[in-house]
């Protein structure tokens, strides 16, 4: 069993972008080489800015190379909660931003010819409890009437045409969500950013930031100091002590994925005939999808523990057990990959982006970052170019985690996790 993300293992080998001397200055320094940072670098360089991106490790080594590879429709907090908090008009604007984010990924892959298996295969939201299916009925009406988004309800019997499992009580099918191969996408976006003129420096962490009196920043890195007119923090759940303001606002949640041995096309199609992205309605939920080479990828929070090699193996065992509860026919299946990563959550479960004390940022995507990071990179490049209205998340603030002395270590997660897991067990 390999303990590396399937997506990075099956993407073309990455060039080595480390060991380069840092220039003395740049218009824009981007900190972090995930989808947020790469998209910001690509779009800012495309506007003619001189861009340097510094990445602590390799591009895609954070959450961007470790995720479920799904661009799913929908706002993180759900449309009902969005309306309650922000009113219908603002909720609709935000919903549209999440929807447009998937379009941005599609446009980027087409424009830059990134061959990454982008496919609008649709998202199947499956009901874990009968009452979840009842609330899906209301959501379907709400989406159609107030958000101009047509979805299809599937009864438990109908669901048999979409899923080789009797585990769920029905589903809501969204046709616009897309799957892709995120390893190939991250690589392609890094290459596109370089073609646009951005310079990527890997294995070079930013270690400190000093705001300059006349504007701009000095960015200290492991390989020297660079002066920048503008700086973008794109470090999400991997934000380290170099940027403590964000660490007080982010909760990093360990999340894990297993990928089976290749199943062959026929067997794979028996499990998910139309290759949907399947996401369940539990509090501590799961998702399952096929890979381009007919394996099954199955992910979820499994345990409330950080990701490290030993923890990933334990989480993989939990996921394998949960996978076979849903698909008993896979009891003998071999797991070929297991890995984990950090998902960046905010206290209010919304992503946040803007400017803090001169420093631009976008983070806290709460599990919707594949598309939102790509989209927000474009938006922040516009904001840095003098168009603050391009930020769809403007005005949302970025609330601190209201736990005394909180500095980014979420010691309380196992307690909250145990509560929600117990609620899930009451079926
Ligand atoms: C297991 C898992 C499954 C997920 N599934 C999905 C999914 O299916 N769909 C979806 O939309 N989202 C999913 N997500 C979330 C999504 O992957 C993230 O929201 C998204 O990748 C965030 O991108 P990013 O570029 O902001 O951050 P990251 O990709 O985490 O990149 C941040 C980078 O910053 C670097 N960095 C940190 N500190 C420094 C420093 N001081 N100097 C230089 N570099 C630094 C890190 O090394 C890292 O590479 C999942 C996440 C995980 C972990």
The secondary structure of 306-320, three-state, reads CCCHHHHHHHHHHHH
The preferred substitution site among 3, 250, 341, 369 for testing ligand 1, maximizing ligand atoms within 8 Å of CB, is: 369
Per-residue pLDDT band for 38 (boundaries 50, 70, 90) equals: very high
What is the residue with the minimal CA distance to atom 10 of ligand 1? Answer: 368
Contact of 271 with 263, CB cutoff 8 Å: yes
What is the residue with the minimal CA distance to atom 16 of ligand 1? Answer: 369
Helix axes 369-384, 182-195, angle to 10 degrees: 20
**Ligand 1 centroid to residue 238 C-alpha, Å:** 7
**Ligand 1 centroid to residue 30 C-alpha, Å:** 14
Contact of 214 with 14, CB cutoff 8 Å: no
Q: What is the pLDDT of residues 324-346, one digit of tens each?
A: 999 999 999 999 999 999 999 99
Query: Which ligand 1 atom is nearest residue 366's CA?
Result: 19
Which of 100, 115, 108 lies closest to 42 in space, CA to CA?
108
pLDDT value, residue 92: 98
Helix %, strand %, coil % of the chain (to 5): 35, 25, 40
Average pLDDT rounded to a whole number, residues 340-354: 96
Q: What is the pLDDT of residues 118-157, one digit of tens each?
A: 999 999 999 999 999 999 999 999 999 999 999 999 999 9
Contacts of 121 (CB under 8 A, 6+ apart): 177, 178, 179, 274, 275, 276, 277
**Ligand 1 centroid to residue 364 C-alpha, Å:** 10
Average pLDDT rounded to a whole number, residues 374-392: 98
End-to-end CA gap in the chain = 33
Contacts of 37 (CB under 8 A, 6+ apart): 30, 31, 53, 55, 232, 234, 235, 377
Which of 403, 177, 415, 396 lies closest to 277 in space, CA to CA?
177
All structural domains of the chain with their residue ranges: 6-415
**Ligand 1 centroid to residue 344 C-alpha, Å:** 8
- The token duo for 110 is 């087409």
Contact of 282 with 415, CB cutoff 8 Å: no
Q: What is the mean pLDDT of the chain?
A: 95
Facing residues of 287 across strands?
279, 299
Query: Which ligand 1 atom is nearest residue 370's CA?
Result: 11
Within 10 angstroms of residue 160's Cβ, the number of other Cβ atoms is 13
**Ligand 1 centroid to residue 236 C-alpha, Å:** 6
Choose which CATH entry (3.50.50.60, 3.40.50.300, 3.30.420.40, 1.10.10.10) describes domain 6-415: 3.50.50.60
**Ligand 1 centroid to residue 152 C-alpha, Å:** 31
Average pLDDT rounded to a whole number, residues 77-92: 97
Query: Which ligand 1 atom is nearest residue 58's CA?
Result: 49
pLDDT value, residue 303: 82
**Ligand 1 centroid to residue 306 C-alpha, Å:** 15
Q: What is the pLDDT of residues 169-204, one digit of tens each?
A: 999 999 999 999 999 999 999 999 999 999 999 999
pLDDT value, residue 130: 95
Give residue for tokens 């490790």.
Answer: 57
CA atoms of 16 and 4, how far apart (whole Å): 18
Average pLDDT rounded to a whole number, residues 271-286: 93
The preferred substitution site among 64, 189, 285, 368 for testing ligand 1, maximizing ligand atoms within 8 Å of CB, is: 64
What is the residue with the minimal CA distance to atom 13 of ligand 1? Answer: 367
Which of 343, 385, 379 lies closest to 364 in space, CA to CA?
343
Give residue for tokens 């800015």.
Answer: 49
Per-residue pLDDT band for 15 (boundaries 50, 70, 90) equals: very high
- The token duo for 99 is 């929807």
What is the residue with the minimal CA distance to atom 21 of ligand 1? Answer: 64
The preferred substitution site among 5, 59, 60, 62 for testing ligand 1, maximizing ligand atoms within 8 Å of CB, is: 62
Which of 121, 92, 93, 91 lies closest to 106 in space, CA to CA?
121
Q: Which residues line ligand 1 (CB under 6 A)?
A: 31-37, 54-57, 61-64, 66-70, 205-206, 234-240, 242, 255, 257, 299, 341-343, 363, 365, 367-371, 373
Query: Which ligand 1 atom is nearest residue 221's CA?
Result: 42
**Ligand 1 centroid to residue 214 C-alpha, Å:** 32
In whole angstroms, how far apart are CA 138 and each of 94, 144, 146, 152, 385? 20, 10, 12, 12, 41
Helix axes 369-384, 35-46, angle to 10 degrees: 30
What is the residue with the minimal CA distance to atom 53 of ligand 1? Answer: 341
pLDDT value, residue 151: 98
Residue 20 region by backbone torsions, left for phi larger than 0, else alpha for psi between -120 and 50, else beta: beta
């Amino acid at each position: 069993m390999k303990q590396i993300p399937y997506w990075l293992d099956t993407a073309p080998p990455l060039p080595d972008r480390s060991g380069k001397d840092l220039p003395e200055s740049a218009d824009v320094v981007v900190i972090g080489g995930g989808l947020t940072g790469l998209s910001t670098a690509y779009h800012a360089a495309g506007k003619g800015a001189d861009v340097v991106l510094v990445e602590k490790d390799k591009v895609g080594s954070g959450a961007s190379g470790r995720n479920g590879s799904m661009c799913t429709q929908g706002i993180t907090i759900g449309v009902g909660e969005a309306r309650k908090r922000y009113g219908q008009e603002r909720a609709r604007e935000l919903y549209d931003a999440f929807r447009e984010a998937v379009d941005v990924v599609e446009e980027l892959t087409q424009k830059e010819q990134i061959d990454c298996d982008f496919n609008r295969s649709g998202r199947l939201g499956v009901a874990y409890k009968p009452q979840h299916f009842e609330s899906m009925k209301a959501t379907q009406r709400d989406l159609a009437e107030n958000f101009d988004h047509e979805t299809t309800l599937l009864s438990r019997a109908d669901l048999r045409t979409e899923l080789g499992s009797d585990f769920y009580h029905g589903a809501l099918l969204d046709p616009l969500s897309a799957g892709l191969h995120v390893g190939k996408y991250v690589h392609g976006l890094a290459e596109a950013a370089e073609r646009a003129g951005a310079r990527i420096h890997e294995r070079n962490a930013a270690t400190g930031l000093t705001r300059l009196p006349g504007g701009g920043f000095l960015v200290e890195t492991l390989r020297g100091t660079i002066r920048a007119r503008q700086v973008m923090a794109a470090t999400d759940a991997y934000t380290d002590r170099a940027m403590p303001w964000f660490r007080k606002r982010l909760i990093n949640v360990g999340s894990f994925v297993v990928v089976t041995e290749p199943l062959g096309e026929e067997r794979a199609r028996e499990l998910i005939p139309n290759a949907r992205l399947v996401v369940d309605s539990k509090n501590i939920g799961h998702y399952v999808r096929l890979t381009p080479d007919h394996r099954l990828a199955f992910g979820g929070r499994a345990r409330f523990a950080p990701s490290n090699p030993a923890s990933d193996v334990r989480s993989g065992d939990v996921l394998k057990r949960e996978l076979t509860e849903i698909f008993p026919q896979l009891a003998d299946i071999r797991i070929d990959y297991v890995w984990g990563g950090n998902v960046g959550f905010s206290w209010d479960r919304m992503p946040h982006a803007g400017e803090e004390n001169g420093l631009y940022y976008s983070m806290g995507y709460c599990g919707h970052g594949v598309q939102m990071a790509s989209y927000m990179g474009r938006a922040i490049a516009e904001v840095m170019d003098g168009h603050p209205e391009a930020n769809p998340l403007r005005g949302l603030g970025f609330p601190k985690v209201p736990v005394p002395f909180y500095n980014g270590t979420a010691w309380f997660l196992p307690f909250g996790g145990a509560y929600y897991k117990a609620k899930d067990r009451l079926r």
